[in-house]
């Protein structure tokens, strides 16, 4: 067992969110080439299981899940499957910028649900941060909703809802180590993702992903490192704090899509991105003040 450090949790969350921001841009590139989002999810989950097995064998790490957290791990596995499939599939129908911003309504869902799930007190300062982030999200989306494919919007919002569930569940899963969590979650995700992909008629052989090898590799790599850092973060900070930090992703995704995919950003969208970043900074300050005198919590890494 190690001691929980909120500061390191915030850093892990920030880096993880940035990796996810790059990840979705390359997922869109892969979809343009004909690689389906659900197929990528299946094979990246398989790769994650292989990597975790190798690392666990080399480091002799335990993959045992805490008995009292097995139900939570089951919920985490199901939620994680829907996050990946819905989010990566959404960019086949709508631009990355829109998909990322719709997806990142999940911090708002987390804050609104936190009094019922975690007993969090909604202070004026916290509500102000959420309002600022929400305004930034609205500006980034702006008028681009006109003529968008409803399937992409529904998939992105479905991923948002699943992520809110994932964050709450992960914040309650502190006794099981990150290696074990990663293994069991993905062991549950693999058959779920495979069945959904099969039902959608998108479960293709891995050779089919060779149509966009670089984009697929970047998508999978960003997910692998981002996922591990996400669960390191969620063992150290609350779901509310992490959720607001993860608003970094749509900003990173928007900038990356502009640079890599030539998806233009308007001044209004840039202003929205700046407001999201301001909300993140304010959230970090509030979280640091709240936890300044709080005792460190034992967690399993």
Predicted confidence at residue 165, as pLDDT, reads: 92
Q: What is the pLDDT of residues 232-268, one digit of tens each?
A: 887 777 777 777 787 777 778 778 888 887 777 778 8
Which of 97-106, 138-147, 157-166, 273-282 has the highest average model confidence (pLDDT)? 157-166
- Whether the CB-CB separation of 108 and 129 falls below 8 Å is answered with no
User: What is the percent of the chain where pLDDT is above 70?
Assistant: 89
- Give the pLDDT band (50/70/90) at residue 295: very low
What range defines the domain where residue 110 resides?
Answer: 2-299
Q: What span, in angstroms and rounded, lies between the C-alpha atoms of 160 and 300?
A: 27
Environment class of 101 (CB within 10 Å of its CB; exposed 0-12, middle 13-18, buried 19+):
buried
pLDDT averaged over every residue in the chain: 78
pTM: 0.69
The arithmetic mean of pLDDT across residues 210-235, rounded, is 83
- Whether the CB-CB separation of 275 and 294 falls below 8 Å is answered with no
Q: What span, in angstroms and rounded, lies between the C-alpha atoms of 183 and 199?
A: 25
pLDDT greater than 50 at residue 2: no
Among the listed ranges 58-67, 134-143, 150-159, 259-268, which one has the minimum average pLDDT value? 134-143
Return the residue matching tokens 């999940």: 106
DSSP class per residue in the chain:
-EE--HHHHHHHHHHHHHHHHHHHHHHHHHHHHT--HHHHHHHHHHHHHHHHHHHHHHHT---PPPGGGHHHHHHHHHHHHHHHHHHHHHTTTS-HHHHHHHHTTHHHHHHHHHHHHT-----HHHHHHHHHHHHHHHHHHGGGGTT--HHHHHHHHHHHHHHHHHHHHHHT--SS-HHHHHHHHHHHHHHHHHHHHHHTT----GGGGGGSHHHHHHHHHHHHHHHHHHHHHHTTS-HHHHHHHTTHHHHHHHHHHHHHS-----HHHHHHHHHHHHHHHHHHHHHHHHTTTPPPPEE--
- Give the pLDDT band (50/70/90) at residue 296: very low
pLDDT greater than 70 at residue 292: no
Q: What is the pLDDT of residues 32-64, one digit of tens each?
A: 777 777 778 788 888 888 888 888 888 887 788
pLDDT greater than 90 at residue 161: yes
The arithmetic mean of pLDDT across residues 89-99, rounded, is 78
- The tokens for 65 are 């899940």
Predicted confidence at residue 179, as pLDDT, reads: 82
Q: What span, in angstroms and rounded, lies between the C-alpha atoms of 164 and 108?
A: 9
- Whether the CB-CB separation of 192 and 81 falls below 8 Å is answered with yes
- Give the pLDDT band (50/70/90) at residue 162: very high
pLDDT greater than 70 at residue 147: no
The arithmetic mean of pLDDT across residues 171-190, rounded, is 82
Residue 75 backbone zone (phi > 0: left; psi -120 to 50: alpha; other: beta): alpha
pLDDT greater than 50 at residue 297: no
Q: What span, in angstroms and rounded, lies between the C-alpha atoms of 175 and 113?
A: 24
How many domains does the chain divide into?
1
Which of 16-20, 60-64, 176-180 has the highest average model confidence (pLDDT)? 16-20
């Amino acid at each position: 067992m190690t001691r929980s450090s909120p500061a390191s949790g915030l850093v892990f969350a920030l880096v993880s969110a940035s990796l996810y921001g790059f990840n979705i841009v390359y997922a869109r590139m892969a979809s343009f080439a004909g690689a389906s989002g659900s197929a990528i999810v299946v094979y990246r989950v398989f790769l994650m299981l292989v990597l975790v097995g190798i690392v666990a064998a080399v480091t002799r790490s335990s993959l045992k899940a805490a008995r009292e957290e097995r139900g939570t791990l089951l919920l985490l596995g199901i939620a994680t499957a829907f996050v990946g499939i819905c989010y990566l599939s959404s960019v086949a129908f709508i631009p990355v910028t829109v998909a990322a911003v719709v997806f990142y309504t999940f911090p708002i869902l987390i804050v609104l649900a936190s009094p019922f799930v975690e007993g969090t007190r909604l202070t004026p300062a916290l509500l102000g941060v959420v309002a600022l982030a929400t305004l930034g999200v609205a500006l980034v989306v702006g008028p681009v909703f006109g003529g968008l494919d409803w399937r992409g919007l529904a998939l992105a919002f479905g991923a948002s809802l699943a992520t809110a569930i994932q964050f709450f569940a992960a914040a309650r899963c502190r006794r099981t180590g990150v290696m074990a969590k990663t293994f069991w979650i993905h062991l549950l995700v693999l058959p779920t993702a495979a069945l959904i992909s099969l039902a959608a008629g998108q479960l293709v052989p891995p050779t089919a992903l060779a149509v966009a090898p670089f984009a697929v590799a970047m998508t999978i790599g960003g997910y692998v490192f981002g996922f591990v850092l996400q669960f390191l973060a969620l063992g150290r900070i609350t779901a509310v704090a992490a959720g607001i930090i993860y608003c970094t992703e749509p900003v990173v995704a928007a900038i990356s899509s502009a640079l890599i995919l030539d998806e233009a950003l308007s001044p209004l969208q840039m202003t929205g991105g700046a407001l999201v970043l301001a909300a993140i900074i304010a959230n970090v300050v509030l979280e640091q003040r709240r936890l300044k005198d709080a005792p460190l919590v034992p967690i399993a890494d």
